[in-house]
Chains A and B, each alone.
Chain A
Amino acid sequence: MIYAKSLLLLSATVAVVAGCATFPDAESTAQRAEQMVTEAHTLGAPALLRRTTQDESQRACSSPGGAKLTQEHSATIVKTARDSIKYPASGKLTGDWKTGAQLVADGRGQRIINGQVEKLSANGALCINCHLMDAKEVNAGNVGPALTGYGTQHGDSEAVARYTYERIYNAWAFMPCSNMPRLGASGFLTPEQIAHIVAYLIDPQSPVNK
């Protein structure tokens, strides 16, 4: 009897909590949060402030709580990503692996401080921030999978070069909403830079494959 009473009390409490502490719904949350995002950045040229504006794919990849994508969204993101891919004017998808080696270890580019973008002749590629590539590199991250022995494993055929190029150009063409940035599609890297990085990954002489 006492037990039943306390159960009753418990469920009453739960009901009251639910009634009082209601959270705003998803739509008003989005509206309010978007307003906060707009107001949060005031320093710098309009183009820099606009960086927080999302494209369709980014929006679809931003579900609070990390909710799963619908099939439909997923297909649209992949298609948009595929359509974004451009190739070097020379048509060559593999460049110079030594230039690639410098790029993958360079984590600079496009950062903003006091409203000014860092001044560089070219952005770094950020790869080892997230991937182990050269097994001897101690300062590599693990947000992405290790890519050591990439070329040994996949070979250095034209098809592998193409797949690797496209994957770096726009990772979302292969895995929608991947944590890997769309480095070519956003203009962060040029097609030529990506070709150098492809060489670094697949060339048998590269430290990646030693």
Chain B
Amino acid sequence: MNARCRIAAAAMVFAATVYPVSAQNKAADGFKAYDGLAVGRQMLAEDNPGDLWVERGQRLFNDKRGPKNTSLERCDLGQGPGVVKGVFATLPRYFADTNKVQDLESRLLTCMVELQGFKREDIVRDRFGTLDKDSELEALVSYVGAASNGLRMNVRLNHAQEREMYKAGEYAFYRRSGPLDFACVTCHGESGKRIRLQELPNMTKPEEMREVIATGWPAYRGTHSTVRTMQHRLYDCFWQMRLADLGFASDLSVAITTYLNYSANGGEIKLPGVRR
């Protein structure tokens, strides 16, 4: 980035910091933010089972593991080797070593393969926990996510590839296909809508997106008895859309997350979330 761009970027950061204040005023003006999960959240507010995943994730992060018997303390999630604080707030972002924009899951995958020597296909196979087998990735994502609690979402689009991903994500959000003609916007384009009794956040509204992203995924899902990540949430929506399985850490999944997370900028992070 040249000097002039850096000044401009600083100005944009400033703009992002003042943004939420006015948005909060708007909420006070009578806008009812997405709050469909209030009941579940209230029930579990005192005792979020997701905290167990955070603890397990912390151990998995710090223990020497894998064929190379190393911890993840050299894993650079965007804030420097081993740093977890603030990571969730700024992902997805561009990483020079992989020359890719990566979200939290795909970046952890890179570290586990490159630093610890795990096999990529093994981690992908076990990416979603089952009743018989917990997922290490779900625990690691919980730990890293919670390490940003209290900070605000602050996804930057400084790199050309980040802007490319953002635009591709927006394109995908509106792209209709499949036997039911669904796009994301079909179910997430208006406030106050429900599929059966499941409330659908309006993802074209930053007020609602801050709730979805900053206090959402990783989330302890009561119906699954485990923590699920954003990759799983998207996978689930693709299933509902009658499309083939969304590839784990695929560029498409990262593009959509870039689009969604950027629109949640300013939202105060409180993870893991609690969901139905």
A residues near B (Cβ < 8 Å) are 13, 16-17, 19-24, 29-30, 32-33, 36-37, 39-44, 48-49, 51-54, 58, 61-66, 107, 109-115, 126, 128-130, 138-143, 179, 181-183, 186-188
CB-CB under 8 A from B194, the residues of chain A are 141-143
Residues of B at the A interface (CB closer than 8 Å) are 1, 4-5, 7-9, 11-12, 157-158, 163-164, 166-168, 170-183, 185-187, 189, 192-198, 200, 204, 239-240, 242-247, 250-253, 255
- Cβ–Cβ < 8 Å partners of A29 in chain B: 164, 167-168, 170-171
Contact A112-B244, Cβ < 8 Å, known A24-B167, A39-B250, A62-B183: yes
Query: Which of chain A's residues have a CB closer than 8 A to the CB of B158?
Result: 21
Partner of A43, one of B4, B164, B204, B244: B244
Expressed in whole angstroms, the minimum distance between the Cβ of B76 and any Cβ of chain A is 24
Is A33 a contact partner of B245 (Cβ separation < 8 A)?
no
A52 touches B243 (CB 8 A): yes
Alpha-carbon separation in the docked complex, A17 to B16 (Å): 14
CB distance from B222 to the nearest CB of A (A): 18
Report the bound CA distance from A143 to B181 in whole Å: 14
- B180: which A residues are within 8 A, CB to CB? 110, 126, 181, 183, 186, 188
Least CB distance from A28 to B in Å reads 8
Can you list 22 A-B pairs with a CB-CB distance of less than 8 A? A16-B5, A29-B164, A29-B168, A29-B171, A32-B164, A33-B175, A41-B244, A49-B244, A51-B243, A54-B176, A62-B183, A66-B189, A110-B179, A110-B242, A112-B243, A113-B239, A114-B245, A141-B194, A141-B196, A141-B198, A181-B180, A188-B179
Minimal beta-carbon separation of B29 from chain A (angstroms): 25
Q: Which residues of A contact B11 (CB under 8 A)?
A: 13, 17
Closest residue of chain A to B192 (Cβ to Cβ) is A142
Contacting pair A40 B179 (CB below 8 A): no
Given contacts A16-B4, A17-B12, A111-B240, contact A58 B174 (CB under 8 A): no
The listed residue (B168, B173, B181) touching A32 by CB distance below 8 A is: B168
Name the residue of chain B whose CB is nearest to the CB of A40: B252
Given contacts A21-B163, A141-B195, whether A54 and B175 have CB atoms under 8 Å apart is: yes
Contact B170 A21 (CB under 8 A): no
Inter-chain CA distance A54–B252, complex, in Å, is 16
Cross-interface CB contact of B181 among A30, A129, A182, cutoff 8 Å: A182
With contact pairs A20-B8, A129-B196 given, residues A51 and B171 touching in the complex (Cβ less than 8 Å): no
CA distance A109 to B12 in the complex (A): 47
Q: Which residues of A contact B163 (CB under 8 A)?
A: 21-24
Determine the chain A residues whose CB is within 8 A of the CB of B166 once the complex forms. Answer: 23
CA distance A40 to B185 in the complex (A): 19
State the CA gap A17–B12 with chains docked (Å): 8
B186 touches A179 (CB 8 A): yes
Complex contacts, A110 vs chain B, CB 8 Å? 179-180, 242
**Residue in B176, B239, B252 whose beta carbon sits within 8 Å of that of A62 in the complex:** B176
Distance of A62 Cα from B184 Cα, bound (Å) = 11
> Which residues from B are CB-within-8-Å of A44?
244-245
Among A22, A30, A37, A139, the most chain B Cβ lie within 10 Å of the Cβ of: A37
User: A142, B193: Cβ atoms under 8 Å?
Assistant: yes
- Extra inter-chain contacts (4) besides given A13-B11, A115-B244, CB under 8 Å: A54-B175, A114-B245, A130-B195, A141-B195
Q: Identify the closest chain A residue to B156 (Cβ).
A: A21
Could you say which residues of chain A place their CB within 8 Å of the CB of B181? 58, 61, 181-182, 186
| Docked-complex contact A143 and B193, CB < 8 angstroms | yes
8 Å CB contact of A41 from B9, B172, B189, B247: B247
Q: With A22-B163, A143-B194, A188-B179 as given contacts, are A33 and B172 in contact (CB-CB < 8 Å)?
A: yes
Contact B177 A53 (CB under 8 A): yes
> In the assembled complex, which residues on chain B have CB atoms less than 8 Å from the CB atom of A32?
164, 167-168
B172-A37 in contact (CB<8A): yes
Which 7 pairs between the two chains have the least Cβ-Cβ distance? A40-B252, A41-B244, A33-B168, A20-B5, A33-B171, A181-B180, A36-B252
Task: Give the docked Cα–Cα distance between A75 and B254 (Å).
Answer: 36
Q: Is B174 a contact partner of A40 (Cβ separation < 8 A)? A: no
A54-B8 in contact (CB<8A): no
Distance of A58 Cα from B186 Cα, bound (Å): 12
Report yes or no: B244 in contact with A23, Cβ–Cβ below 8 A: no
Contact A54 B245 (CB under 8 A): no
A205 → B minimal CB distance (Å): 25
Complex-state Cα separation, A179 to B182, whole angstroms:
8
